Amino acid sequence: MASKCASENRSIGKGNKDEHGHMSDSFYNHEGRLAKKSNRIGNMENDDHERALERTMRAVNSASIAVTLRSQGSLGHGEGSAPGLDGVFAKQEPEAPIHIDTDENDPEIHHLHSEGLSSALAAELLKKFGRNELPEKKKPKWLIFAEQLYQPMPLMIWAAIIIEAAIESWPDMGILLAIQFMNASLSYYETTKAGDAVAALKASLKPVAYVKRDGKFLSMDAALLVPGDLVLLGSGGAVPADCVVMDSQIDVDQAALTGESLPVTMFKGDSVKMGSTVVRGEVEATVEATGANTFFGRTASLLSGGDEVSNLQKLLIRIMIILVVLSMALCGIAFGYLLGRGETVRESLSFTVVLLVASIPIAIEIVCTTTLALGSRELAKDGAIVSRLAAIEDMAGMSILCSDKTGTLTLNKMMIQEETPIYVEGETQYSLLRYAAMASKWTEPPRDALDTLVHGAADMASLASIKQLDYMPFDPTIKRTEGTVQLPSGETFKVSKGAPHIIMHLVDQEVHAATVAQCDKDVEALGERGIRSLAVAKTKGSADGPWELIGLLTFLDPPRPDTKDTIERANKFGVEVKMITGDHLLIAKETARQLSMGTTIENAALLPKLEEDGKPPKNLMDYFKYIEATSGFAQVFPEHKFLIVEALRRGGYKTGMTGDGVNDAPALKRADVGVAVQGSTDAARAAADIVLTKPGLSTIVTAIIVARTVFGRMTSFITYRIAATLQLLIFFFIAVLTMQPAKYEPAGALEEWPAFFHMPVMMLMLITLLNDGTLISIGYDNVVPNTTPDKWNLKVLFTIAGVLGGVALLSSLLMLWVALNSHNPAGIWAQAGLAGLTYGQITSMVYLKVSISDFLTLFSSRSGAGFFWTNKPSAILLVAAGIACSLSTIMANAWPESRPDGVPTIGLARVAPKELSLYVWIYCLLCWFIQDAAKVGVYAFLKKYNIFGINDIVAMKKADPVEMA
């Protein structure tokens, strides 16, 4: 069939132009087989192939010997009962049911030939070659949980736990242990959930093979295939391993391997690769390679070593290092100060350690992971399964999307096009399709891809009354089909379809000179656009009458209906789409024209290749400007895709890659965001970060929107978390060094006021737990996504967080000073006519003030450069914050009179004035308005003078340059 397809399209198909301007047959040889240079994707060199065959045969012979010995009692018995090896083979020489054939067309090429294996021999070979699966590294879940306990933040908590145990502060140690395991459990749950979803998808798509075992064919898991197995390849089935065709011929769709849209005919001795699909015919084939030795496995070698720390992880590590260093420095100074003032080591250390744990962003990774996980669930509802959570953050900053063409931008299905040149007056595309159908066996199933195209588009019901008198099938020497038909009226004529240059020679060249010239011109114009065409002619008057050329049917693998809209929407969000395809240059240009992707589609011949050691060439960046300026590349091989993505990443672009085939897998793995579209091969899904389960690319734009929404949520949280850390840490640092409650102790006080201000450990932990618990709800917050790619700007982040935290801590210090000075008749408190406060009241006041300010800071940080009321929060966030604020207020009012950690404490509602908590709330709200106004003012100042590059939208389209190891 591929012979026919190739021959019928010699002058119009995929070949390059020759010196006369005609299309050559560079993709098909004279027999209709795929030319070797196109089929080399996934093929080994001859020497490597021969060595592989030798290894396989040695393994088969070794397994045969083991099975023979076992069957004769030589293995698995006592030492005395087993005859010697020579004795066994003196009686019976084992014969392997596999031998090596020589290719009849090329004596230098050899292939395995099998008659089928026994179950025993197959089991022995399975031990030697392993399962027919992609190499996969799977981390056990217990290890994933254990890792949550020895990350940098958990290690600091462990240090604090050890210190608390050493000083025998058991309640504090218990609180820290509870926080440690709660954080680890939550992080484990969110980390494993997405991985489980992908594993479930992979399990549901497990391939099945029909294999001959013990003399009969049976259906079995394709993962159990071994080299030497005899399998049955049938229409509609996937090729389960690298196989060699034993007899007859089949048509194979190799789009996942080569990007070629039309099926290719495979004859006896041809190698069929795992990942391709049989579209017509049925043959027996011998498995030559499985698992890591298949093209899948060899592709996987490019995928290894691609794992790296995500940009989000790098960012969080930088933020945590800055905050932890600052926390340790200030806590260290406070610890030394307390020791210098005569405080005991135990008391000083207990306070300092708890302050350190409370101030550092313990849950920053957990909240970010939760936010990403919630985003992944949003994507799952739209048909996108996220296998790497950090890819959502990467997608938010993606500025270039490299897309495969066949099956991704297009339908991977040849279809008749509307463009139909007609050369006979009165004829239409409708009648032309009917004539084309008459040149086939229309009452039988289609015999090839072209018949399938015609039968699918023609009005087949209208042919019921037409009788076919004779039919001439396709023959490589004639290169056309012909049918003789009779209409109900009795009129008889012949119809033929085939390659234009063949059909044109049927007509009288002098009589129809103008028509032939026009047809030749049309064919050339269509060829320039990569559109294939099929000519149709009929005899006039009778079956023996003169031929007349009726017209041309054009066909192409068309774009998906939603692709153009998807690309336009991606462009609106600042994402450029580049086409990267293995298909022919002209076809790629025509597809790009239809999708308005630009016309600068280049041939991959000018691109570099990988070094012999598999690494990118040292001069890769010499090609960066060339790659950056093009709209896409055609006729690329897997290494080209890999290098294109690599060059763009090194050049500073966050790069995405979509694809569905084995040839896309290395680039999918190397890209910042790899997207495997619906129906992707196992290799593509394994390499991708996001797997689409719905057809088309519209989900990608949805994913971009969701990703930028998630990015906005994380920006809000991280800004808040930095601000909260600065507020808590610096507030207590200044309070310890400057506020000495003992100096403010009034005469006749019922309890002794401490020498330095500090808060009970329980209160500090409650602030941390309630805040972090509320922050998880930020994953549901309302965010307006940016229309340009997002990028982290730490200088702006810390500046805004510093403003928010600075206003909050200053207001807390002011309130603490006023409260401590409440017994001073000239003080602000006394001047307001309020009675002096006990130290227990002051402790609860500060707890309530710090708690409420933290929650209000969150609402200010989430609105970005606008006032807090410009972006309505989600109902979930409001409810969570409301519950946390209510609990903090209740505890501040109802706290029993006690001395936790030696600090006098009493609920605000237990003594007069009982409305004290209301005053604290009013004060917090007034300070919040000031805080929010200061934030808006600083944003305006930064934007006015473009400080820290806050306005650099072009720079925002680029990621930080990636350094290669």
Residues whose CB falls within 8 Å of the CB of residue 59, separated by 6 or more in sequence, listed in order: 125, 128, 129, 227
Q: How far apart are CA 334 and CA 756, in angstroms?
A: 11
Which residue among 25, 229, 404, 660 is the active-site one? 404
Which of these, 770, 955, 941, lies nearest to 852 by C-alpha position? 770
- The answer to whether residues 153 and 364 touch, using CB atoms and an 8 Å cutoff, is yes
> What secondary structure does DSSP assign to 188-233, as a single string?
HHHHHHHHHHHHHHHHHT--EEEEEETTEEEEEEGGG--TT-EEEE
- The answer to whether residues 560 and 417 touch, using CB atoms and an 8 Å cutoff, is no
Q: How far apart are CA 595 and CA 236, in angstroms?
A: 30
> What secondary structure does DSSP assign to 297-316, as a single string?
HHHHHHHTT-----HHHHHH
Q: How far apart are CA 583 and CA 24, in angstroms?
A: 15
Strand partners, 743: none
SS3 readout for 480-523: EEEEEEECCCCCEEEEEEECHHHHHHHCCCCCCHHHHHHHHHHH
Residues whose CB falls within 8 Å of the CB of residue 920, separated by 6 or more in sequence, listed in order: 815, 845, 848, 849, 852, 892, 908
Residues whose CB falls within 8 Å of the CB of residue 386, separated by 6 or more in sequence, listed in order: 194, 375, 376, 379, 380, 392, 689, 690
**Known active-site residue 404:** yes
In 86-172 the beta strands, taken as DSSP E runs, fall at 98-102, 110-114
- The answer to whether residues 894 and 958 touch, using CB atoms and an 8 Å cutoff, is no
Which residue has tokens 């014969």? Answer: 95
CB atoms within 10 A of CB 514: 9
- DSSP summary character for residue 553: E
Largest CA distance in the chain: 129
Token pair of 58 as six digits? 């040695």
Q: How far apart are CA 220 and CA 459, in angstroms?
A: 41
- DSSP summary character for residue 442: T
Which of these, 793, 774, 656, lies nearest to 711 by C-alpha position? 793
Q: Convert 590-618 to b/e letters by CB count within 10 Å (16 or more is b).
A: bbbebbebbeebbebeebbebeeeeebee
Q: How far apart are CA 783 and CA 870, in angstroms?
A: 11
Region for residue 696 given its phi and psi (left: phi exceeds 0; alpha: psi -120 to 50; beta: otherwise): left
Question: Mutual orientation of helices 761-775 and 345-359 as an angle, nearest 10°?
Answer: 10
Q: Compute CA 49 distance to the chain's CA centroid, rounded to the nearest angstrom.
A: 33
Token pair of 584 as six digits? 């022919």
Token pair of 156 as six digits? 């600091």
Which of these, 882, 883, 735, lies nearest to 813 by C-alpha position? 735
Strand, helix or coil for residue 284:
strand
Token pair of 737 as six digits? 């060094």
Token pair of 582 as six digits? 């293995």
Q: Taking the CA of residue 588 as centre, how many other CA atoms within 13 Å lie in the half-sphere pointing to its CB?
A: 27
CB atoms within 10 A of CB 362: 22
N- to C-terminal Cα separation, the chain: 48
Strand partners, 403: 579, 658
Strand, helix or coil for residue 878:
helix
Region for residue 339 given its phi and psi (left: phi exceeds 0; alpha: psi -120 to 50; beta: otherwise): alpha
Catalytic residues: 404
